[in-house]
């Protein structure tokens, strides 16, 4: 059967998890350095994992294998988002021209976040996760920094489960407003209730901030929070790492032995050379949010890609806040590619210097295999390596905006977008096919999103009016 047949979607939905699936396509972008890009290739999925990849006709199959022909399509690993505040999704583009971090903090974290009920957290997080899947993101770290109660945290986790994404729930207490005081001790309950198995779609991390400048010392990463993460055996994601204060914090963490590959530093704009050296020496991972840093104007507003590469760090990419930013990974790849190459040419302009420029393969690495490593899932996802989870995309390379297929990686990075993501599999389960999310009542979700948005904004206005009396 072929990708466009109506019966194919039904066969995928009804496919038992132990039935092998073979996908044949014009090219397979494996992101595995040993396999590379396989022209006219095929990929075998068995039991939710990648079983084999090779040129068409070379992968052995059994008589019960479901074979799907996908001519004029690419197969690629799902994208990985290393940092998104998913609860905000029903506030999309509420402040599209936000000028700086302070305005975002005041408008969203001070003004609106305290108005969220658990059901609003669920709706926003589910919307963000389903949008991620629709645009080809199969793994998303939800930096859940509005955990006002155990119910809010449970709602965020349940939304990831219900969406069917490979989710990383990074839990943090809210910056401002009334909350139950349950964090970080509630992480132990969350781990036991939702994250008891290492072989599941969801993983848990501790989320925190770099310094006490935004919300006080309790949220600043240090020995106590590091001890909590170590005792629970979970990673740490640290937001708002930038500038002179961020550099001092990074150096202090290094001296105290608080940096490691299990720690991710987010943004990293304007850090000094000593801080970058400490990060490289400890194997600390980095999440860059290209449009957030440039558009909102975080610190020096320049994504720290050159600084990272200079010390041998290859970062993951992230969306950050949808109140002002695009929600897809294609935008992040293209923004970073353009910004880095622009700066490189500018540095060499008028001289005989030829500064290093990144290419399409680099940004695809950041959006897939490096993002998976940044999320602590490098052995699980991020490439179509046999043995890894079958988190993959089926991308139309014969559409009006992608044809003709001349360079598979160039087509995926520079031409394709969410409309070309014909199929998405997470752990071998089809979540999108023929361009449509499977099992999702979009009209019903829209009603929930609108009702939640209206209720949140009404409560926020009422709260503000009461405070101004």
Residue 195 lies in a domain: yes
Query: One digit per residue, pLDDT tens: the chain, 469 residues?
Result: 888 888 888 899 889 888 999 999 999 999 999 999 999 999 999 999 999 999 999 999 999 999 999 999 999 999 999 999 999 999 999 999 999 999 999 999 999 999 999 999 999 999 999 999 999 999 999 999 999 999 999 999 999 999 999 999 999 999 999 999 999 999 999 999 999 887 899 999 999 999 998 878 899 999 999 999 999 999 999 999 999 999 999 999 999 999 999 999 999 999 999 999 999 999 999 999 999 999 999 999 999 999 999 999 999 999 999 999 999 999 999 999 999 999 999 998 988 887 899 999 999 999 999 999 999 999 999 999 999 999 999 999 999 999 999 999 999 999 999 999 999 999 999 999 999 999 999 999 999 999 999 999 999 999 998 887 7
330, two tokens: 């294609």
Residue 356 lies in a domain: yes
Same structural domain, 34 and 143: no
**What residues have CB less than 8 Å from 70, skipping those under 6 apart?**
2, 3, 23, 24, 25, 26, 394, 422, 423
Q: Can you tell me which residue has the tokens 């903090």? A: 105
Same structural domain, 66 and 142: no
- The dihedral formed by the CA atoms of 73, 79, 84 and 86, expressed in degrees to the nearest 10: 50
- The dihedral formed by the CA atoms of 107, 111, 112 and 113, expressed in degrees to the nearest 10: 100
The total number of structural domains in the chain stands at 2
pTM score, two decimals? 0.97
Domain boundary residue among 324, 357, 374? Answer: 374
**Cα→Cα distances 335→86, 141, 318, 319, Å:** 21, 20, 12, 11
Residue 362 lies in a domain: yes
Q: Determine the structural domain holding residue 419 and report its residue range.
A: 6-78+382-437
Residue 454 lies in a domain: no
Same structural domain, 280 and 338: yes
Same structural domain, 187 and 273: yes
Q: How far apart are CA 257 and CA 254, in angstroms?
A: 5
Same structural domain, 38 and 179: no
Radius of gyration (C-alpha) of the chain in whole angstroms: 22
Taking each helix axis as running N to C, give the angle between helix 118-134 and helix 442-467, from 0 to 180 degrees, rounded to the nearest 10.
Answer: 140
Residue 449 lies in a domain: no
Same structural domain, 163 and 108: yes
What CATH number is associated with residue 413?
A: 2.30.40.10
Residue 291 lies in a domain: yes
Same structural domain, 221 and 244: yes
Same structural domain, 398 and 356: no
Residue 447 lies in a domain: no
């Amino acid at each position: 059967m072929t990708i466009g047949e109506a019966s194919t979607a039904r066969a995928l939905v009804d496919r038992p998890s132990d039935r092998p699936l073979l996908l044949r396509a014009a090219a397979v972008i494996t992101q595995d350095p040993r396999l590379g890009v396989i022209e006219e290739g095929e990929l075998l999925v068995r039991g939710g994992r990648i079983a084999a990849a090779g040129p068409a006709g070379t992968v052995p199959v059994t008589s019960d294998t479901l074979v799907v022909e996908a001519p004029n399509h690419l197969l690629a690993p799902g994208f990985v988002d290393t940092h998104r505040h998913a609860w905000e999704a029903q506030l999309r583009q509420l402040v599209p021209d936000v000028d700086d971090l302070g305005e975002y903090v005041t408008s969203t974290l001070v003004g609106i976040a305290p108005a969220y009920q658990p059901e609003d957290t669920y709706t926003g997080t589910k919307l963000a996760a389903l949008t991620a899947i629709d645009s080809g993101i199969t793994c998303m770290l939800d930096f859940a920094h509005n955990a006002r109660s155990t119910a809010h945290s449970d709602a965020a986790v349940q939304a990831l489960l219900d969406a069917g994404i490979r989710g990383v729930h990074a839990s943090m207490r809210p910056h401002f407003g009334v909350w139950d005081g349950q964090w970080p001790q509630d992480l132990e309950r969350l781990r036991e209730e939702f994250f008891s198995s290492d072989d599941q779609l969801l993983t848990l991390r501790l989320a925190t901030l770099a310094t006490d400048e935004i919300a006080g010392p309790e949220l600043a990463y240090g020995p106590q929070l590091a001890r909590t993460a170590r005792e629970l055996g979970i990673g740490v994601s640290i937001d708002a790492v930038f500038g002179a204060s961020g550099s001092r914090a990074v150096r202090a963490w290094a001296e105290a032995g608080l940096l490691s590959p299990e720690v991710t530093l987010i943004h990293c704009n304007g850090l000094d050379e000593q801080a970058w050296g400490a990060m490289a020496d400890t194997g600390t991972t980095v999440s860059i949010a290209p449009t957030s840093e440039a558009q909102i104007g975080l610190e020096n507003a320049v994504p720290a890609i050159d600084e990272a590469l200079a010390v041998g760090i290859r970062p993951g990419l992230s969306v950050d806040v949808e109140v002002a930013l695009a929600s897809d990974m294609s935008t992040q790849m293209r923004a970073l590619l353009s910004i880095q190459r622009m700066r490189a040419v500018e540095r060499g302009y008028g001289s005989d210097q030829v500064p290093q420029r990144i290419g399409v393969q680099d940004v695809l690495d950041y959006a897939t295999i490096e993002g998976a490593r940044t999320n602590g899932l490098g052995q699980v996802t991020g490439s179509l390596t046999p043995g890894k989870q079958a988190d993959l995309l089926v991308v139309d390379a014969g559409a009006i905006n992608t044809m003709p297929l001349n360079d598979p990686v160039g087509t995926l990075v520079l031409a394709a977008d969410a409309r070309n993501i014909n199929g998405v599999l997470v752990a071998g389960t089809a979540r999108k096919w023929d361009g449509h999310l499977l099992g999702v009542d979009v009209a019903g979700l829209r009603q929930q999103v609108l009702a939640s948005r209206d209720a949140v904004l009404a409560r926020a206005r009422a709260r503000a009016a009461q405070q101004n009396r």
